[in-house]
């Protein structure tokens, strides 16, 4: 029997980055759902003051809605393809292989399109353009979308092959219509600026001379492309993946912190939809 103090500290714990502590949680609190979260900044965006402030990502909100045993593997900047290769893949597969995981939360695809060296790669010179198609390098975009889709299909089959719990379900989301502007990531009251505070899409649109009136439609096209491929994957494997369509959830004027991340209120809205899906799956 573990020491009394050890059990008490575990009881207070809802989310951990330690595989060993997660294993202990799953064995000690068997009535809780076991969740593993792997994803990008929508699962791992830091709080305003880094360690303090309002919950500022989906996982921070989820763990306040119910007591889960939750292993957090997410990291800002991660791409879907990257998460399913190398050490990231091994850590994820070890987690679902060694523990009876009910739900695998996955957030991926956004950084594959707007990460460093990506947005510029998908844009044509837009001088004089009058349509979204003229501004996008469609062959490059199609190849990247295919990579994202293949990553999700690999994830499904990894679960088929390696999950200790046969009916594990992947729950993912479709992001929302980000707002192209010059607001980047700032913390500690602006004392720390991620990548110098430069935003992720606007500077490249400026460099490629994309007409201002086409910038939001371009972002909308990218978000819809990710959503459509995820929904297509779900239609093929509804037994293994559940897609929460979060498009249109956020108020454009109130729910965004910067160019591609919601604020705490916005993340809570997304988290509530994902939480509802988790509850529905648990009650089936």
pLDDT digits 0-9 by tens, 209-229: 999 999 999 999 999 999 999
Using the Cα atoms of residue 82, residue 85, residue 86 and residue 92 in order, give the sign of their dihedral.
positive
- Alpha-carbon distance 155 to 20, whole Å? 23
Instruction: Report whether pLDDT(5) > 70.
Output: no
The tally of CA atoms less than 13 A away on the side-chain side of residue 269 is: 18
Q: pLDDT by residue (tens digit) across 257-281?
A: 999 999 999 999 999 999 999 999 9
Closest CA to 141 of 164, 121, 169, 167: 121
pTM of the full predicted structure? 0.91
> Which has the minimum average pLDDT: 27-36, 46-55, 166-175, 247-256?
46-55
Superfamily of domain 17-282: SGNH hydrolase (3.40.50.1110)
- Tell me, what's the pLDDT at 184? 59
| Total residue count of the chain as it appears in this document | 284
Instruction: Sketch the domain layout of the chain as residue ranges.
Output: 17-282
pLDDT at 52 over 90: no
């Amino acid at each position: 029997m573990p020491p009394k103090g050890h059990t008490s500290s575990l009881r207070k714990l809802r989310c951990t980055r330690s595989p060993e502590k997660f294993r202990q949680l799953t064995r000690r609190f068997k009535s809780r759902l076991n969740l593993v979260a792997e994803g990008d900044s929508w699962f791992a965006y830091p709080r305003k003051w880094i360690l303090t402030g309002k919950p500022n990502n989906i996982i921070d909100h989820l763990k306040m809605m119910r007591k889960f045993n939750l292993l957090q593997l997410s990291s800002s900047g991660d791409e879907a393809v990257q998460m399913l290769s190398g050490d990231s893949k091994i850590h994820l597969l070890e987690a679902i292989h060694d523990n009876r995981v009910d739900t695998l939360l996955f957030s991926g695809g956004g950084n594959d399109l707007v990460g460093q060296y990506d947005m510029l790669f998908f844009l044509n010179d837009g001088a004089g353009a009058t349509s979204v198609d003229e501004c996008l390098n469609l062959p490059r975009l199609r190849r990247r979308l295919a990579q994202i889709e293949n990553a999700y299909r690999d994830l499904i089959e990894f679960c088929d092959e390696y999950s200790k719990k046969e009916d594990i379900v992947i729950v993912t989301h479709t992001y929302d219509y980000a707002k192209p502007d010059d607001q980047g990531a700032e913390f500690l009251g602006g004392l720390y600026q991620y990548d110098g505070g430069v935003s992720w899409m606007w500077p490249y649109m400026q460099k490629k001379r994309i007409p201002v009136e086409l910038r939001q439609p371009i972002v909308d096209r990218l978000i819809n492309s990710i959503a459509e491929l995820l929904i297509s994957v779900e239609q093929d494997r509804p037994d293994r993946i559940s897609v929460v369509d979060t498009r249109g959830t956020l108020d454009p004027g109130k729910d965004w912190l910067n160019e591609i991340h919601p604020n705490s209120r916005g993340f809570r809205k997304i988290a509530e939809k994902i939480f509802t899906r988790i509850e529905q799956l648990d009650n089936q």
